[in-house]
Amino acid sequence: MGEAAVQDQPTTAEERATWKLFFVAVGRMSRWLVFGVALAAVPVLISFVFLPKTSSIAALLDHGDFAVLASALVGSSIGELLGPDEPTKWLRNILISACIVLFAAAIVLLAGIAGNSAQLSTAQRVDYSWLLFVAAVVAGGASMGCTAHIVHMHGKSVLTSSRPSDSQHESVVNDEH
């Protein structure tokens, strides 16, 4: 049993650095979910709490509150992807393109809601707002997770992330065996 436990532990410096990278990415995404998404949604949640008993939740969401949150989330994701430490070009381009499409869709939806577009029913506006919000959370989580990376310098693997506030998560792992 002791032998199996030893085999499950990372053995090389690269494996240890990969696991540390994983934990940094999870930490960044967790902080983003709490402080970026949950706190941004508090005004909408407060509106739910104080919603008049005669109103439906769809009537509240019909105003595009979640579409506004979605546009803010994808905007911050684009900013994260254009930071000083970007992910690989192909991943960065895919995520930025997805964020731009989501942002444009949110703008079109909000313009339709503000202009009282007759083409969209209340249910459709609510559904599209939720869909945009969920897609923005996924795109934002991917952006936050992929901006942490490993940089190889001078025979050592230095684990970093793109945000200066994450400097406490930096660690150096010797590549010597």
pLDDT truncated to tens, each residue of the chain (177 aa)? 445 555 556 577 777 777 777 777 777 778 888 888 888 888 888 877 877 777 777 777 788 888 888 998 898 888 888 866 667 788 888 999 999 999 999 998 888 888 766 677 888 888 888 899 999 999 988 887 777 654 333 444 455 554 444 444 444 444 444
Q: What is the pLDDT of residue 116?
A: 66
Q: What is the pLDDT of residue 42?
A: 85
Instruction: With H, G, I as helix, E, B as strand and everything else as coil, classify residue 17.
Output: helix
Q: Residue 65 and residue 28: Cα distance in Å, rounded?
A: 25
Q: Collect contacts of 61-66 with beta carbons under 8 A, ≥24 apart.
A: 61/125, 61/126, 61/129, 61/130, 62/113, 62/122, 62/125, 62/126, 63/113, 64/109, 64/110, 64/113, 64/114, 64/125, 64/129, 65/129, 66/129, 66/130, 66/132, 66/133
Q: What is the pLDDT of residue 152?
A: 37
DSSP character for 56? -
Would residue 101 be called left, alpha or beta, if left means φ above 0 and alpha means ψ between -120 and 50 degrees? alpha
Scanning 38-121, the segments in alpha helix (DSSP H) are 39-49, 57-61, 65-81, 89-114
Q: What is the pLDDT of residue 101?
A: 95
Question: Per the confidence metrics, is the pTM higher than 0.75?
Answer: no
Q: Where are the domains of the chain?
A: 15-42+56-174
Return the closest-CA partner of residue 130 out of 60, 64, 40, 84.
64
Residue 160: how many other CB atoms lie within 10 Å: 20
